[in-house]
Structure 1
Amino acid sequence: MIEPIGDWLRLDSADDVAISLRDIDAGAHVVLNGAPIPVLDPIPRGHKVALRPLARLTPIVKYGQIIGHAAADIAAGEHVHLHNVTVLPVQRTEARPTRNPSPDDSRLPNTFHGFRNHGRRSGTRNAIGVLATVNCSADVVRAVVAETRRRILPDHPSVDGVFAITHSGGCGMPVDGRTHIYLRRCLIGAAMNPNVAGVIIIGLGCEVMDGGAVRDAAQMAGIPAIQIGIQEIGGTGRAIRAGVEAAAGLIATANARRRQRVPISDLIIGTQCGGSDAYSGITANPLLGRAGDLLISRGASWALAETPETYGAEHLLTARATSREVADRLLAMMRRWEREVAATGASLDNNPAPGNKAGGLTTIYEKALGAVAKAGSTPLQNVLEYGEAITKPGLTFMDSPGLDDVSTTGLVAGGCNLVAFTTGRGSCLSMNPIPVVKIASTTELYNRMRDDMDFDAGRLITGWDMDEAAYTLAMQIIRVASGDQTAGERQGLGDHTFAPWDVGPTL
């Protein structure tokens, strides 16, 4: 249980700072060990106040971990933020593979109601995908989807939707370069996602990205897949008509499918955070991690991504890797990010966005230590490259940028059939055909963006028991997996967020 002291929250007895629970005026007091400390500056809600004097270059501790260093002498009671904090290299504890017991709750069921697939995980949705191999075919794809939704979908109630997979690439890239590899993984992974009952692949005909590779991979997995080339068929009008005709046949077949009891072990749940604030690492992220522990205890797969947003907290993951090899893969990934970002003249500490900083997050270390809480406490089973298939039960780490749509696209390509998304400032990301459960870090956000939020983690601040909240969230995830719509689905969102990682060059 989170236990505030008046208007302040201290997360660990070793912390040098406390977090304000409301806007605090200068002249107020924060109490430490019974002794009042005068507050010297106005402290915005969610921001930090120094609990003791901190000399220049002294490490600053929050969560019991170093989040940065004092850029100048900081007095007790002073606002601790961008003006007096810097980031210096930190020597974290050496990775030591350990095994943590998985929490359990006997009330949690072993099944959900999903669409059973042969030879792959069950779907939480029953949808038809229309996929563009190249941006040149994106307009045709969108026209096929719009016409199919208008004319055909209403008569097929068992089909959850027809969705477009369009993007800005597909050509002008080195063959078998990283961008090509990532795009191929994302398109094949999206076509083979458990929530896809059939797919139409539409290309121009002369692009780098080969639609035949997507078609063949889907068909080998037993997924009905139809390929259309705009040049070959004779232009956009004929391609649209052929696409709608193909969609009608796929929808008729998919409409015969029904939800049935399937094991929780068929769930592959991706985690994401966006628009984070200081409360994200206190309420929503730890809560989601605890709910993940419960679902993992029933055999589910749980994926953490956003490599730059775990930078400085990777030691918390490597310390529970199942092997030295798994730990070393994650560390090598971090070192690669350091090199590649440095080569551009930037720093990984550039990751926190203006909104993160306005919400009280000062450094990438602070953001990462809160973000990594989404991983819960179970062993790290695997470390994957962007968009690779998630095959192991338990916790997996996937390399991705922190950009929400790009990271979520990688998780969808990896096979996630549901995404759980925490936010502190507010996010409206959705991505068809994957339900995205939005978890607000504060009750204020939940009420302000009620049409976009699915779960209020802010109640933890006012005394809700963490274990009970985790069970409640895990049950809501199961209900969504079984067909309950998310806030984004109710609003019809998610058509324009598929964004494979483009690392360049564009030729």
Structure 2
Amino acid sequence: MKQRVLKVHPQDNVMVALTDLEAGETILDEGAQYQLLDAIPAKHKFALVDLPKGAEVTMYGVMVGKTEANVPAGSLLTTANLKHAVKEFRTGARRTDWLKPDVSKWHTRTFRGYHRQDGSVGTANYWLVIPMVFCENRNLEVLQEALVNSLGYGRNKNYLSQAQQLIELYSAGSSIEQILQADLQYGIGQQPALRLFPNVDGIKFLPHAGGCGGTRQDAQALCGLLAGYITHSNVAGATVLSLGCQHAQVSMLEEEIHKRTSLFNKPLYILEQQEVGSETQMLAEAIKKTFVGLIQANETERRPAPLSKLCVGLECGGSDGFSGISANPAIGYTSDLLVALGGTVILSEFPELCGVEQNLIDRCLEQEDAERFSYLMKTYQERAVAVGSGFDMNPSPGNIKDGLITDAIKSAGAAKKGGSSPVVAVLDYPEKVTKPGLNLLCTPGNDVESTTAEVASGANIVLFTTGLGTPTGNPVAPVVKIATNTKLYDKMRDIIDINAGTITEGEETIQHAGERILDYIIAVASGEEVVAAVRLGQDDFIPWKRGVSL
């Protein structure tokens, strides 16, 4: 019989419904019997024992809230009877031993990547066009229009033909009802040119709203982020457009590049509009230099590289009540496999680590990192509270509807992405990863801000779990979308790459799913698999201005 409920941890006093349960049902689980007083929707939780008002609620073996009213055994936990609450945390004795998974089957595996002079290896090969300030965004649009389609980087599938179909229907006298009911077809417009540079995966443009008008700290952080992309293993070189008078100066960018690598030798063309003069002249120069850069980038070809050269970002967005029991622990096992192979993983989204701080502090190899993580979490929370918010306000309406009713529940499940390996470093935004192993990176929980930051820190692939569906991608790193449930996977196959709903359906173990994901990563890293976010051109890029973003 298919499993209908799950007690995640032996110490838990709540249970997760894996399918819709009706009020009055008797639930049997491992010899125990529970009478349901309420209907329990799939992904939601019910109390296993009577919980008086003020009682601690435990899930994943940690406190995830306190009751606001008496909650009898068999009752549904809701936002009305459960509020966010977590244990205090402190630095102290640490436990950094861990049971490494068996990685013998991958010891001799390689992926085919782009080798850079600093020793890193890319999973892709892109050319970047970057503005130092938002004033240059329009010039980026001009360059994009001039270069992308003509060099063979346009997309076949377009929606212009659908607009044309509607124009034809309207012109023929169709009614509004007929237009609304029309079955519009994807059109294949003008076929893009064949790629002139087959070893270059694309030209990526990174427009943003920063560079001036904020604080000098904002400008420094932006330059650090942009330097992270320019020096990234998936990037062959860059064209940089500067106005000249903005806070984010070119000298600041060059300083940040040097911080990240002393071996920087990629083509880097910087044009300053106030120095060059006319816009026409600057754009002509930018087109020429970008074209020359592409010629240079095309000289690099894929070659075998050890799996230790993989740096994987761990992300979740549009999470649901299954995230913490299927996709997140699955990529947590993938994370452990990569660490055991000498690779690097990045766990971010600090607002979504609220309540599991002690576990992560205890896993820090160095006392200095334990203290830094504690400091970053506390100051982040204090800043949120100072503007009338707090980590407790983090779950979105979609999260709550699908079973994540407190930030602590969401966080305890989100932290599963980091597996069980020791924490080798704690980084503040937008620092670069320098140590193999599990790294913690301070970012918001905002999907795009966090993914943008993980890639700037060095992630050459991102694993992104979702229970509700999201079109998030990144300009330079493949973002692998992993569904927490089969219903989502079947519904949104165009944007989802992997189904982890097989775990809650009892078809495979977390370990097997984690191994399956690692095999997929290797194929993506070698250019053998193209993820949905790349096919669809989902190039999301949002720098974080160090304000309060949950």
Bin for the TM-score computed over the shorter chain: over 0.9
Where do 1:366-381 residues align within 5 Å?
366-381=409-424
Instruction: Report matched runs for 1:150-189 at 5 Å.
Output: 150-153=149-152, 154-175=195-216, 177=217, 179-189=218-228
Q: Distance in 1 between matches of 2:361 and 2:547?
A: 30
The residue that corresponds to 2:229 in the other structure is 190
Closer/same/farther in 2, CA of residues 12 and 439 from structure 1, 3 Å limit: same
CA contact (8 A) 1:105 1:471 kept: no
2-structure distance, mates of 1:443, 1:199: 40
Q: 2:535 aligns to what?
A: 490
Whole-Å separation in 1 of the counterparts to 2:489 and 2:86: 36
Residue in structure 2 matched with residue 401 of structure 1 by the alignment: 444
> In structure 1, how many angstroms separate the alpha carbons of the residues matched to 2:91 and 2:114?
44
1:252/1:33 Cα in 2 relative to 1: closer, same or farther (>3 Å)? closer
1:49 matched to 2:46? The reply is: yes
Partners of 2:116 and 2:29 in 1: how far apart? 57
**Counterparts of 1:256 and 1:155, CA distance in 2:** 12
Q: Deviations over 1:319-364 (max 9, x none)?
A: 2111222211111111111211111121211011111111101111
- Structure 2 CA distance, aligned partners of 1:152 and 1:489? 17
Structure 1 equivalent of residue 511 of structure 2: 467
Aligned position for 1:17? 14
Are 1:91 and 2:73 counterparts? Answer: no
Whether the 8 Å contact between 1:104 and 1:293 is mirrored in structure 2 is: no
CA deviation profile, 1:251-288 (whole Å, cap 9, x unmatched): 11111211001122221111111111111100111100
In structure 2, what is the equivalent of residue 104 of structure 1?
102
In the other structure, the counterpart of 1:75 is: 72
Which among 329, 353, 359 is matched to residue 402 of structure 2? 359
CA distance in 2, matches of 1:298, 1:432: 27
Indicate the RMSD between aligned Cα atoms, in angstroms. 1.9
Whole-Å Cα distance in 2 between the matches of residues 94 and 209 of structure 1? 37
Q: Does 1:477 align with 2:475?
A: no
**Displacement of 1:234:** 2.9
- 1:115 is paired with a residue of what secondary structure? strand
Q: What does 1:317-328 align with in structure 2 at a 5 Å threshold?
A: 317-328=360-371
Structure 2 CA distance, aligned partners of 1:97 and 1:89?
Answer: 20
Cα offset, 1:84, TM superposition: 0.3
Contact 2:86 2:354 in 1 (8 A): no
- What SS does the aligned partner of 2:534 have? helix
Tell me what 1:206 maps to: 245
Deviations 1:143-188 (A, max 9, x none): 212321122342111110000011111101222x2x2222111011
TM-fit CA distance, 1:42 = 2.1
Displacement after TM superposition at 1:215 (Å): 5.0
For residues 215 and 92 of structure 1, the distance between their equivalents in structure 2, rounded to whole angstroms, comes to 39
Q: C-alpha distance in 2, partners of 1:89/1:456?
A: 31
**How do 1:190-269 residues align onto structure 2 when only pairs under 5 Å count?**
190-215=229-254, 217=257, 221-269=264-312
**Contact 1:140/1:239 (<8 A) preserved:** no
What TM-score, normalized by structure 1, do the two folds share? 0.94
Q: Encode CA deviations 1:5-54: one digit per residue, 9 max, x unaligned.
A: 74211112222111112222222222255454332222211001111110
**Is 1:60–1:68's contact at 8 Å kept on the other side of the alignment?**
yes
Aligned to 2:168: none
**Is the 2:91–2:371 Cα contact (8 Å) retained in structure 1?**
no
Stretch moving more, 157-166 or 137-146: 137-146
* Partner-residue secondary structure (3-state), 1:498: coil
Query: Which range is displaced more, 202-211 or 280-289?
Result: 202-211
After TM superposition, give the deviation of residue 94 of structure 1 in Å. Answer: 5.9
The answer for the alignment partner of 2:4 in structure 1 is 7
Q: Residue deviations 1:422-468, cap 9 Å, x none?
A: 11111110011111111111111111111111111111122302222
In 1, distance between residues paired with 2:143 and 2:15?
A: 54
Taking the TM superposition and a 5 Å limit, the aligned residue runs for 1:129-144 are 129-144=128-143
Deviates more, 1:136-145 or 1:449-458: 136-145
Where structure 1 has 5 or more consecutive residues not aligned to the other structure, the ranges are: none
- Map Cα deviations across residues 280-303 of structure 1 (whole Å, 9 max, x no partner): 100111100101111111111111
Q: What is the TM-score with the length of structure 2 in the denominator?
A: 0.87
- Give 1:212 shift: 3.9
Residue 140 of structure 1 and its aligned partner are, at CA, apart by 0.9
1:503 aligns with 2:501: no
> How many residues end up aligned between the 2 structures?
498
Gapped runs of 5+ residues in structure 2? 153-194
When residues 297 and 88 of structure 1 are mapped into structure 2, their CA distance, relative to the original with a 3 A threshold, is: closer
Measure the CA separation in 1 of the matches of 2:64 and 2:363.
Answer: 21
Q: CA deviation at 1:313?
A: 0.7
Residue in 1 that maps onto 2:122: 123
1:441-460 pair list within 5 angstroms: 441-460=484-503
| Rg larger in structure | 2
How far apart are residue 110 of structure 1 and its match? 4.1
C-alpha separation between the residues in 1 aligned to 2:324 and 2:90?
21
1:428 aligns with 2:467: no
Q: Aligned partners of 1:261 and 1:35: how far apart in 2?
A: 53
Give per-residue Cα distances to partners, 1:181-225, cap 9 Å, x unaligned: 221110111111111101000022211111244357379511110
8 Å CA contact 2:56, 2:67 repeated in 1? yes
Tell me if the contact between 1:275 and 1:425 (Cα under 8 Å) persists in the aligned partners: yes
Taking the aligned partners of 1:344 and 1:106, their CA distance within structure 2 comes to 51
- Deviation, 1:504, is 5.5
Change (3 A) 1:95 1:23: farther
C-alpha distance in 1, partners of 2:299/2:387? 52
CA displacement, residues 335-394 of structure 1 (integer Å, 9 cap, x when unaligned): 111211111121211011111111101111111111111111111000010110101000
The structural deviation recorded for 1:102 is 2.3
